[in-house]
Structure 1
Amino acid sequence: MSTQPPVETVSTGADKAKLAVAVLLLVGGIVAFYALGQQDLWMRVVALLVLLAASVATFFTAESGKQLIAFGRDSVKEVKKVVWPTRKEATQMTLYVFAFVVVMALFMFLTDKTLEWVLYDLILGWKG
């Protein structure tokens, strides 16, 4: 069992300011899209996309954005380590699952019908 120390995140004032600016740019993009309601649609979309890109760029310069990028890189490394099953193995496992589902469906059906027969016919005396 590994005893790693808990991860501590320290946010500096600059990081908080960058995140606030990113949020303001995002909100500004949405506001600009609706404020330019009298303009052509392409102009509204361009304004939204420019402010959205500025917001994302600002976010990725903050520590949270850098951690997100590092997490993405680590995830790609881990996915590359995965040993994927061959087509034959995947097909076999799929058939096993289907067979198990069919067996369980039959079991549930037989259990239901048996309980129905016991309750309604034997105990209550109702003839269906």
Structure 2
Amino acid sequence: MNLNIKLSLSFLLLGAGLVGFYVLSGQPVVLRILAVLFGLGLATAVFWTTPQGQRAIGFLNDAITEAKKVVWPTRKETFQMTLIVFILVVLMAIFLAFVDIGFSYIINMILGRG
């Protein structure tokens, strides 16, 4: 099958699933979602057979492999960093409040309202 035909068929199947969601508007939501999932599944199966699909699958496999190499912080480290961020946000809020009050005071003095 020609590459362009496979890609077109893949997009048409995806579109058919989405159209099915709206055509079945009087039906239960579960049936409507199943129509979308069926269209998505068929579109994915057809797309998988194309070179672009194979590259996408390879990319996803590489991404999963790299994600498994990530060293996640411990619970203690996460708590400490969250606490640091919270403290810095509070300090910046206080600083910006003073700056805002100062500018407001200066503007009121310039305009003669103070």
Name the TM-score, length of structure 2 as normaliser. Answer: 0.76
Residue aligning to 2:67: 79
Measured in 1, the distance between the counterparts of 2:33 and 2:72 equals: 42
Match status 1:59 vs 2:47: yes
Quote how far apart the aligned CAs of 1:124 are. 2.2
Q: CA offsets per residue over residues 53-111 of structure 1, 9 Å max, x none? A: 33221111111111111111111111011111111111111011011001100000001
Q: 1:78 to 1:125 in 2, by over 3 A?
A: same
Aligned-partner SS, 2:71: coil
Residue aligning to 2:91: 103
Residue aligning to 2:113: 126
Q: 1:74 to 1:112 in 2, by over 3 A?
A: same
Point out where structure 2 has 5 or more consecutive residues left out of the alignment: none
Identify the range of structure 1 (49-58 vs 89-98) with the bigger mean alpha-carbon deviation.
49-58
- Structure number having the greater helix percentage: 2
Measured in 1, the distance between the counterparts of 2:13 and 2:42 equals: 7
State the one-letter code of the partner of 1:126: R
Q: 1:61 to 1:118 in 2, by over 3 A?
A: same
Identity %: 41
State the one-letter code of the partner of 1:123: I
Match status 1:24 vs 2:12: yes
Point out where structure 1 has 5 or more consecutive residues left out of the alignment: 1-12
Number of residue pairs matched? 112
Measured in 2, the distance between the counterparts of 1:91 and 1:97 equals: 10
Aligned-partner SS, 1:114: helix
Aligned-partner SS, 1:84: coil
User: Out of 82, 106, 111, which is 1:94 matched to?
Assistant: 82
Larger radius of gyration: 1
